[in-house]
Structure formats: C-alpha cells, structure tokens
Structure 1
Amino acid sequence: MAHGERELPWDQDNHPGSPELSDQHTTPAAGPAAAGSAAPADRAALDDRYGRGAGTRRRGRLLAIVTAVAIAVVFAVWAIWAGPGQTDHGLDTDDVGYEVVSDHQVVVHTQLAVDPGTEVECAVQALDKGYTIVGWRVVTVPADDQRSRSLSTPVNTTSRAVTGLIHSCWVP
C-alpha cells in the first residue's frame, strides 16, 4: 500500500473462514446446539413482536370453530328448505298458443302435465305490444286421473292484447 493511503474494508481478504470474520461473529452461545433454537427471552420477544402466542392461537382456533358452525347451520337450513318436503308434483307447462278474440279478450291455450290426482292453480296473463300486462286471471285446474291435460283459458283485457301465456303454475 502506498504512503498516506488508508486500507478500506473491501481491500481486505475477508472471506468465510478468515480469522478477521471468524473473530467478529463469535458469541459464547454459538455452537451446534444453539444454532437451531433461540433463547427463551428472544423467542418471547419475537412472539410479542409478531403477535404469536397462546392468546392468538386461541383466537384463531375459536374463529375456525365459529366459521365451521356457521357453515354447518347454513347448510342445515338449506337442506331443510330444499329438502324432501318440497316437491313440484311433476308440474310442467307448455304454452301452445293464443287467440285474440277481440280488443278486450284473448284465449290462452296451454298443455299442462302434473301427477294424477293433483289440483293445480295457474296464473294466465295477456300482454300488449309494449309487453305491459293488460289481462290477468288465476284458474284452478281440478285433480284428474290423467297426467297430461289441455287447458284453454279466456282472459279479459283492458286493451288489445298481442299475446297470451301462462305466467306460472303451482300446487296449492
């Protein structure tokens, strides 16, 4: 090194295993047994810093239990609501057509299929060219021993209808 120059840290040959580095990082607890575990005081400080501890574990466990119970309750309510007590009795409707009789009446033709012996109610509607409901009627279809039935329903209207159809059917 030239006169007046200072020796900089990166000019030294400091590599792992060199005496300069080994001496700087030696601690009394350093050794194979202490390398994998922290001292209890250090562990407690880390647990406090990062929010780990018995209270946090208890809260996490409690949150998991509450979530599982909530999911089970929601599933049970859904199973009861959509369960075996709910049946549509094989109810199915098809709009076959309609016939505009006058400015104040339309006849709606429907094919209805339902389990034999089941009474059904249907809401029949008539619409104008703006898709506004201009006529509405609820009809009761009595129980029959046949599954399939044809239904023709006259619906009175407030103005000229351009279509008629079944809105919905249900078992009362």
Structure 2
Amino acid sequence: MAHGRRELPWDQDNHPGSPELSEQLNPSTTATLDDRYGRTAGRSRRTRTIAIAAAAAIVVVFGAWVIWAGPGQTSHGLDSDDVGYQILSSHEAVVHSQVSVDPGTRAECTVQVLDKSYTIVGWKTVTLPPTTERSRTITTDVNTTTRGVTGLIHTCWVP
C-alpha cells in the first residue's frame, strides 16, 4: 500500500501472461479451453494439410494456364483490317477486308453485319486456304435478316 491507499484486485497486474494469472490456471483448465475453442493438435494438422492442398491446386491451375496460353501458342502473324462494306439491299451486304497471315497458314474469319442499334443482322464464317502471299483482300457476301448499316470482320483465328 502506497500512501495509505488500499490496493484493490483490479489494481493488480492480472493481464494474460502475467505470473499471477498463469499461476491461477492449471494444465487441465488450459486443455479444456483449447478443446472448447478448437485449438487442438489434430485441427492444426488438418489446417496445414488444407493449406498445402490449396497451394498445390493453385500451382497446378497456373501451370495448366501457362501451358495453354504460353509460348507454344503463336498468332502466326495473323492480322485483319476492315477495308469497306456495301449494303446492297435489306437482306444482303458485302464486306471487304484485308487479312494477313504467315504464308502457308490456313485461317478462318467471321464477318458480321450490324444494324443501326448495333444488333448483328448477318454473320458468316469464311475459310481462307493457305497461300504463298502474306496478305490478301477478301470480299464476303453476307445475307442479313434486316437492313444493315455496317459490315466488318469480327475475329480471325488459325484452326
């Protein structure tokens, strides 16, 4: 007691880890608390096993993606440009395009015609046989369901 003041229980240093509190807990009480709150050795092993399995799954998925999209996949120098289009009638359009691909490589392209609300009203897939030239101009007739206002190459790929 300092200066005539009486010490109260909450004035003592009873925070976790202090000698007074640690002496009050016996080992069986600690084990019971660990069981109650799931801090068991079996749970630690299970958590570690799940973490290792999750990490392995992530590595496998990433490796598969690298193999699928990695350096083995080339574009074969594939490039396409829209040159122009003609709307011939309410049910027909012609799309002019230029496609460049490595010589000797077959390619396929989808050509589409859109209406004024950007809805696809005509669609056609065109196969380009291999040639010795890198670039070629293609003209594609496309049947439409309603009158189109523009025509273009949607996408090209090497099958």
Same fold (TM over 0.5): yes
Stretches of structure 2 that go unaligned for 5 or more consecutive residues are 13-17
What residue in structure 2 maps to residue 70 of structure 1?
Answer: 57
Cα distance 1:41–1:136, how it changes in 2: closer, same or farther (>3 A)? closer
Percent identical pairs in the alignment equals 58
Give the counterpart letter for 2:31 in structure 1: A
Tell me the secondary structure at the aligned position of residue 46 of structure 1. helix
1:149 to 124, 132, 136: 136
Poorly superposed stretches of 4+, deviation over 4 Å: 32-39
Q: Give the gaps of 5 or more residues in structure 1.
A: 1-11, 26-31
Please say if 1:139 is aligned against 2:126.
Answer: yes
Question: Larger Cα Rg: Structure 1 or Structure 2?
Answer: 1
CA deviation after TM superposition for structure 1 residue 35, in Å: 7.8
Q: Structure 2 length as normaliser, TM-score?
A: 0.73
Describe the superposition over 1:77-111 as per-residue Cα deviations: whole angstroms up to 9, x where unpaired.
Answer: 22232234433212121212212234443221112
Question: Using the alignment, how far apart are the partners of 1:141 and 1:88 within structure 2?
Answer: 15
- TM-score, normalization by structure 1: 0.68
1:14 aligned partner: 6
Look up the match of 1:97: 84
Describe how 1:23-172 pairs up with structure 2 within 5 A: 39-172=26-159
Distance 1:50 1:130, change over 3 A: closer
RMSD of aligned residue pairs (Cα, Å) = 3.0
- Residue aligned with 1:73, SS: helix
The number of equivalent residue pairs is 148
CA distance in structure 2 between the partners assigned to 1:156 and 1:129 by the alignment:
16
Which amino acid counterpart does residue 13 of structure 1 have in structure 2? R
